[in-house]
Structure 1
């Protein structure tokens, strides 16, 4: 059995790159997650996980992460990625939502907040708080926006 993460950090960044992969890598570096091995997970915040804004994870670690990202090569396009964490009133598990697309940061944050509200509603869980982290990018040649919730031990 894998250990359950006890901490989380929300990160976001954007970048241009010579290729789509370079743009993605640059966005990860901009977000502070570029030297980690990200293991994409679905969207549940472990029970009792504590938000740690200063969480530092040593490079090379395998890190569970829920994330949204978008790469675009249309000059002038505005792209955004956002994540939101829904914190339950009861201290039980929370919900993480991810979103990315061709829209501005304000739109991303508004949509993702509603996604969290809906996720709690269908679970019949009382929602105490919503935390949001996002990145917006205007594409020059090849751009990427990334937002993620890093889970740690």
Structure 2
């Protein structure tokens, strides 16, 4: 049985290269997680899991370690094509309850649009779990106000890597990740 993560950090990166796999590697390098054996997992932020800085999280990584993360990844070799990869996160006010992490990736959105969308996804999943009534067709800003006034959601955030496809047709890769860490609970 695997332990439950106690902390996480957010990171992102963009890589460009003639080979698709190398572009991905370069994006991982920019995100500072290239030395890990990454295992992607789904969307639950464990109870009492705290955010740490990227620098603090990276300092705990060991080369070759099996590292769990929620990752968004988009690639293109089409010149001028807009790509985006975002992680959204929503935490409940009650630290003993779980939160949500969403991944959103694709083409055509700006980084800001992608980040807002990912944050909205995570907050909407948490809100529905908490029984907060909201109009799913309302604009994100309107729903965010409903979530904040409920006092059941502590906060939400996002991180995004966005890029424009390389002019010469080389592969461009954008990644964003929430990387889980494990420490002993006291």
Give me the TM-score of the superposition, normalised by structure 2: 0.79
Higher strand share: 1
Please name the residue that 1:69 is paired with.
Answer: 73
Choose 1 or 2 for highest CA Rg.
2
Higher helix share: 2
* 5+ long unaligned stretches in structure 1: none
Alignment of 1:58-137 (within 5 A): 58-91=62-95, 92-102=97-107, 103-124=109-130, 126-137=152-163
Q: State the Cα deviation string for residues 20-56 of structure 1 (Å, max 9, x = none).
A: 1111111111111111110110110111011110212
RMSD over aligned CA atoms reads 1.1
For residue 131 of structure 1, report the CA deviation from its aligned partner. 2.1
For residue 85 of structure 1, report the CA deviation from its aligned partner. 1.4
Q: Which runs of 4+ in 1 moved over 3 A?
A: none
For residue 117 of structure 1, report the CA deviation from its aligned partner. 2.1
Q: State the Cα deviation string for residues 59-103 of structure 1 (Å, max 9, x = none).
A: 211011001000111001111111011111111211100011112
